[in-house]
Structure 1
Amino acid sequence: MRKVQWGVLSTAQIGTNHVIPAMQKGELSHIAAIASRGLDKAQAAAAALGIERAYGSYEDLLADPAIEAVYNPLPNHLHVPWSLKALEAGKHVLCEKPVALTAAEAETLAAAATRTGKVVAEAFMVRHHPQWRIAKEIVDSGRIGAARAIQTVFAYHLTDPSNIRNQAGIGGGGLYDIGCYAIATARTIFGGEPERVAGLFDIDPMLGTDRMVSGLAAFGDGRTLGFVCGTQLVPCQRVEILGTKGRIEIAIPFNAPNDLPGRIAVDDGRDLTGGGREVITVPLADQYTLQGDAVSRAILREAPLAWGLDDAVANMRVIDAFFRAARSGGWERP
């Protein structure tokens, strides 16, 4: 079975700790090279991960004719510039989320993907975990009645000013880093786009980043997403989908462990003590492995991407609207 030959731009921790080891377990993905701004760093990462080639610049990796596709886990402000360079070098791209800093940037990337004929995917790994497919199937089946409200919490505690997530000038902050998950998953569950959004932003006075965002997104027909994302809160993840006849609770919605089965609880609400609660066990899965193979499958033209750049652009429009709402103090339309 032929595997797509992948190169990785940078030795970022999301790649070396999670995505690369997971893709190496895939059926269709082979990590053939890694690049850093320093050759020593690239060689150290290659040795640790069993990657055969290391490059001391991103340009050298893109010039490797054997590399078919590039994984881009660079800081947010470099997502579009280096993804564009990869496309111009004839490579397919898997780019970390958010794919851009604005919808306009995302549209530029989408236009380049169309012009070059290459596959470009946004790395929302959670979409590939079976627990989200199961949750969507339950909603669509009508088991919980009409889905009306999604409540999402995603938080961690990080105050290190040297961490890219805490650097406002390069796309740091909670909404870009983790609030985007709440938006993307709600759009999937509701199967549509929000009509308007509003948000309260708590800005760190020293870092200048949004350390907490409380957001509302109205999807029409009485459907609402309410979420809190925070970068200086106690670590927490929770998603509840409430319908007219029941509710769904996803135990670890975003950083699902690859060594434990998932759990989805469905409760018909007959009482407040869980009398109508059923827990569904989700088989073991590595969402990063599944993501890598899904993109490789699209590159090999075995199956199309379930979520293309049109979806990435739509998600960025909602993020843009939340930032506008932070400035206006009112409702904004994506």
Structure 2
Amino acid sequence: MAKDAIIWGVLGAARINDKVVPPMHRAPNCQVKGIASRCSEKAREAAARYGLRVAYDSYEALLADPEIDAVYIPLPNHLHMEWAIKSVEAGKHVLCEKPIGLDVEQTERLIAARDKSGRCVQEAFMVRTHPQWLKVRALIEEGTIGELRAVSGAFCYYNIDPDNIRNQKDIGGGGLLDIGCYPITTSRFITGREPRRVVALMDHDPVFEVDRLGSVLMDFDGVQASFLYSTQIHNYQRMQFHGTNGRIEVEIPFNAPNDQPTRLLVSERGSATGDRWLELPTCDQYGVAAAVFADAILNGRPLAIPLEDTLSNMRVIDAIFRSAQSDRWETI
């Protein structure tokens, strides 16, 4: 008998679960059974907070549960690849927080494990299935702003907490892996191309030794894409797409709210109405992503973000790190 829902387990009691687990549990074709932690008390507290049936006292215990179809992995960056591989080896599908690996080599190892297991594995870039981003791509493909020529963006927040995992170098901290990856994946998604080369400036925190500010230019052969990111600048995020006949601005591109509509500003040269705002209905991007992933598993549809796409994104990230060190353009 065909399954009508994916039974989820959550591998880790991270704070991001407050945003992800409730909408995942409510999403179509999804049911979250339980959560695992290396600390049994944390697992029990989290399971009670989210109304889940089971608290597992180890990651291994969750993976040994035959009822679990898929796992969501919100662990620190340096553990993503290890536990994603262990999960597929245990026969589970995997939706893993970004970055799913720390570099190209780790991502290639995960692809090999996926191919051997036959399981579905996807990086959790929730923005890629949000309706506002699907609308941006549709508008540009329809020629609303003419020929796309340039992309510009920014993603910044302020965090100097030494205990925060984003400020810990040894476990994959730093701004590029945390937030700089978003303008990369959305630029690639909207252009439908891969950058040929990149050049970057990067500033590191003198105490944490992680990258806290970066400015990047990506050459998409006809489309120039630039963005800045920072973990020590006042909160700000925006993406803009500039064409020969207009411009599209994504007001809240990455942390889209789940309690109000999102908006796109569309400016078209020669338009009698001038600038216009397009409003997209309220949705929860975490629930949408879980539902799309579950549908792919249940109905054999292509994943929204296959690991090959993740590998392409990681190649750009690796090149940006190289450019920041070499002080020159680096090819992808």
TM over 0.5: yes
Give yes or no for the alignment of 1:106 onto 2:107: yes
Match of 2:308 in 1: 310
Aligned to 1:24, the other structure's residue is in SS state helix
User: Quick check: 2:239–2:251 contact (8 Å CA) kept in 1?
Assistant: yes
Distance 2:145 2:182 in 1: 23
Q: Provide, for residues 181-224 of structure 1, a one-character-per-residue CA deviation record: whole Å limited to 9, x for no partner.
A: 00000001110100000110010000001101101100002x11
Distance 1:124 1:100 in 2: 13
Distance 2:159 2:54 in 1: 33
Structure 2 residues not aligned, in runs of 5+: none
Distance 1:306 1:40 in 2: 35
Q: TM-score, normalised by structure 2?
A: 0.97
Distance 1:72 1:228 in 2: 27
Give runs of aligned pairs for residues 20-39 of structure 1, distance below 5 A: 20-39=21-40
Match of 2:267 in 1: 267
Distance 1:18 1:241 in 2: 28
Query: What amino acid is aligned across from residue 324 of structure 2 in structure 1?
Result: A
Match of 2:216 in 1: 215
Query: What amino acid is aligned across from residue 13 of structure 1 in structure 2?
Result: R
Q: TM-score, normalised by structure 1?
A: 0.97
C-alpha displacement at 1:301, in angstroms? 2.5
Distance 2:291 2:129 in 1: 10
Distance 2:168 2:283 in 1: 33
Match of 1:96 in 2: 97
Give runs of aligned pairs for residues 190-229 of structure 1, distance below 5 A: 190-221=191-222, 223-229=223-229
Q: Provide, for residues 216-243 of structure 1, a one-character-per-residue CA deviation record: whole Å limited to 9, x for no partner.
A: 100002x111001000100001111000
Q: Provide, for residues 68-121 of structure 1, a one-character-per-residue CA deviation record: whole Å limited to 9, x for no partner.
A: 111011111111000000011111100101110011110110111111100001
Match of 1:241 in 2: 241
User: Quick check: 1:258–1:287 contact (8 Å CA) kept in 2?
Assistant: yes
Give runs of aligned pairs for residues 63-212 of structure 1, distance below 5 A: 63-212=64-213
Match of 1:2 in 2: 4
User: Quick check: 1:173–1:209 contact (8 Å CA) kept in 2?
Assistant: yes
Aligned to 1:47, the other structure's residue is in SS state helix
Match of 2:16 in 1: 14
Query: What amino acid is aligned across from residue 132 of structure 1 in structure 2?
Result: W
Aligned to 2:173, the other structure's residue is in SS state coil
User: Quick check: 1:297–1:304 contact (8 Å CA) kept in 2?
Assistant: no
- Runs of 4+ with deviation above 6 angstroms: none
Query: What amino acid is aligned across from residue 264 of structure 1 in structure 2?
Result: L
Query: What amino acid is aligned across from residue 36 of structure 1 in structure 2?
Result: S
How many equivalent pairs are there? 330
User: Quick check: 2:152–2:225 contact (8 Å CA) kept in 1?
Assistant: yes
Q: Provide, for residues 264-302 of structure 1, a one-character-per-residue CA deviation record: whole Å limited to 9, x for no partner.
A: 11102459xx96201111111111001001111111125
C-alpha displacement at 1:151, in angstroms? 0.6
Query: What amino acid is aligned across from residue 312 of structure 1 in structure 2?
Result: T
Match of 1:324 in 2: 322
Distance 1:59 1:288 in 2: 25
RMSD in angstroms over aligned alpha carbons?
1.3
Structure 1 residues not aligned, in runs of 5+: none
C-alpha displacement at 1:2, in angstroms? 2.1
Match of 1:290 in 2: 288
